Amino acid sequence: MHELGITQGIIELVAERAAGAKVNVLRLEIGKLSAIMPDAIRFCFDLCAQDTALDGAQLEIIEIPGRGRCRQCGGELAMEDFLARCECGSIDLECIAGEQLKIKEMEVV
C-alpha cells in the first residue's frame, strides 16, 4: 500500500510548514485518476499523525473528478479512467484534471 508512504510524506511536510503550531484541520485534493485511494489515506492518517503537530487533526479529502480533452476534436469529457473514449470516437485524450494530489489548506491554532 503506497498510500502509507504518501500519508507519511504529507504529514511531514504539513508539520514542517506548521512550524510548531497544532494543526486542527488538513484538507487534501485527490484526483480520481491519481491512483491514490482516499480511503487508504484516511485509514493511515491517524496512525501516521500520532505524536506530530497533526495528532487529533481532522482530515478532509476533496475528490477531484477526472477530465480529459480530445486531441482530435478538442472536446472535453469526464474520465473515470484512462480508457475513456471521446464522443467523436477518438481515444487520443489529454488528461486535464484528476491526477493531482494537493495539500489544499491547513487550519492551525
Q: How many Cα atoms occupy the beta-carbon half-sphere of 16 within 13 Å?
A: 6
Q: Could you give the CA distance from residue 39 to residue 52 in angstroms, rounded to a whole number?
A: 21
Q: Supply the mean pLDDT for the chain.
A: 96
pLDDT value at 1 more than 60: no
Residues belonging to the chain: 109
> CATH fold of 3-108, please?
hypothetical protein PF0899 fold (3.30.2320)
- Domain positions in the chain are 3-108
Q: Report yes or no on whether pTM surpasses 0.85.
A: yes
- 109 pLDDT band, cuts 50/70/90, is confident
CA angle centred on 94, ends 89 and 99, rounded to 5°: 125
